[in-house]
Amino acid sequence: MSGKTRNWILLSLLVVFTIIGVAALVERMAQGLILANFTSVLPWGLWLSLYIYFIGLSAGSFLLSTLVYVFGVKRYEPVGRMALFQALGCLILGLIFILIDLGRPERFFRTIVNWAPSSVLAWEIMFYLAYIVILLVEMWILLRPDLIPRSKLLQRIHRPRRSTILTPKEKSIVRILAIIGIPVAIGVHGGTGMIFAVVKARPFWHTGLFPLIFLISAMVSGGALLTFLTAFFSKIEQSRRGQIVRSLAKLTATVLILDIFVLFIEVVVVLYGDIPDHTHPYNLLLAGPYWWVFWIVQILGGSVVPLVIIFGRRTSDKLVWLGGAALLIFLGVIGVRLNIVIPAQQSAWFGGGPAAYHFLKNPTGYFPSSNEWLSSLGILTLGVWGFWFGRKMLPLESEHGMAETDVEEKDNTHETDN
């Protein structure tokens, strides 16, 4: 099969998935949450899991981009814009997921109009707004020099630029925005962890480690996505790309080990304490009906196999293997998110154990409904389209960046890395 036929097959598959997914989204908007398999006991499901997954991807990607724009790591310069684009795209996908998760999506503006400062979720909305502004401005300033020569429309409305290189003033604006962005991104995803951590009704979530776990796994997923995209979809020349992918994969793997370590601490403390309310969700996580989401998706597929590939002697310098390992980590974090959201709610300990809900049909045995799956698929295809168009229309892989300067002006960024 030639590459062209393969591309056509992939494209038509994408179109079919998009049509199905968008139809499911329309159905969900028309009929409401009755299509989802939530129960009174288990109110948060697949959509919410994917929401925290994409918000995490976004925050992780942004924090990676600060390596370039704040810490001046020259090696990652060629993928800095991609990381920012990823951050923006994943944030939008995450917000779409939380939007369709709302019972009344048309009332989303109330989170701003009726802002209630006692709620972590309300603060999160503020963080998302600040974050999206920072992302847009930062990307605009970074892409503008390359974007103007490309676009007739921009040439008409924007005053002409002398060169495609960032001026020192623009560089310092980008740097300041990225510096402000660090606490905001930590607020965006650490705060998403706080949404869960403050819920004392679910002992599984009610731990100070949770925001930390969220942040670390956000770094893991963001790094994995950037590694994967750079390995397979980048136009950077081969040797340079290999260098970046190897370095990114090692970085991601190191953070992944930290992630597993923190999870290990939590599991040991909980199982050692053996308080029933607290142990029960962990029993469900480790040996419940969805044991495979933990052991197969999160541990084996999402951690062990990729770590073996990334650190293995034969595979650690092969681009395809590293990209595949990154894809595995990236997918494994979906398991991490599901494991955060679902088992904690399956252990319904309210006033007397699961038997208290005998009248509800399967109160804690959640499995996403067909509409939940298909509308999620629809949003994911929107993400693929966004990536495709973004890559086509935006100068995401230009060589112009922070490190480059006009001949006459001196470079004042610290160059510790080459």
Partner 1 sequence: MSSKQTHVNVKRYAMVVDLRRCIGCHACSAACKSENDVPLGVWRTWVKDFEKGTYPKVRRDFLPLFCNNCDAPPCVPVCPVGATRKGEDGIVIINPHKCIGCRYCMAACPYGMRHLHPINNVVEKCHWCLHRVKAGLAPACVDVCPTQALHFGALHNPTDRVNRMLIDNPVQTLKPELGTSPHVFYIGLDVRLVEGE
Q: Least distance (Å) from partner 1 to the CB of residue 209?
A: 19
Q: Least distance (Å) from partner 1 to the CB of residue 42?
A: 9
Q: In the complex with partner 1, which residue's Cβ is closer, 103 or 312?
A: 103
Quote the tokens at residue 214: 């969220």
Q: In the complex with partner 1, which residue's Cβ is closer, 33 or 55?
A: 33
Q: In the complex with partner 1, which residue's Cβ is closer, 277 or 415?
A: 277
> What backbone phi and psi angles, to 5 degrees, belong to 47?
-60, -45
Name the site residues for partner 1 (rule: CB under 8 A): 32-34, 38, 40-41, 43-44, 98, 101-104, 107-108, 110-111, 114-116, 118-122, 124-125, 195, 198-202, 276, 280, 345, 348-361
Q: Least distance (Å) from partner 1 to the CB of residue 111?
A: 5
Say if residues 173 and 133 touch (Cβ distance below 8 Å).
Answer: no
Say if residues 178 and 70 touch (Cβ distance below 8 Å).
Answer: yes
From residue 147, how far is each of 139, 196, 230 by CA, in Å?
11, 41, 21
Q: In the complex with partner 1, which residue's Cβ is closer, 122 or 377?
A: 122
Q: In the complex with partner 1, which residue's Cβ is closer, 42 or 135?
A: 42
Q: Least distance (Å) from partner 1 to the CB of residue 106?
A: 9
Q: Least distance (Å) from partner 1 to the CB of residue 110?
A: 4
Exposed, middle or buried, 53 (CB in 10 Å: 0-12/13-18/19+)? buried
Q: Count Cα atoms within 13 angstroms, Cβ side, for 89.
A: 25
Q: In the complex with partner 1, which residue's Cβ is closer, 51 or 53?
A: 51
Say if residues 67 and 401 touch (Cβ distance below 8 Å).
Answer: no
From residue 186, how far is each of 58, 192, 304 by CA, in Å?
11, 9, 27
Say if residues 404 and 165 touch (Cβ distance below 8 Å).
Answer: yes
What is the Cα–Cα distance from 388 to 380, expressed in whole angstroms? 12
Q: Least distance (Å) from partner 1 to the CB of residue 81?
A: 33
Q: In the complex with partner 1, which residue's Cβ is closer, 108 or 388?
A: 108
Alpha helix (H) residue ranges in 102-167: 110-113, 120-150, 152-157
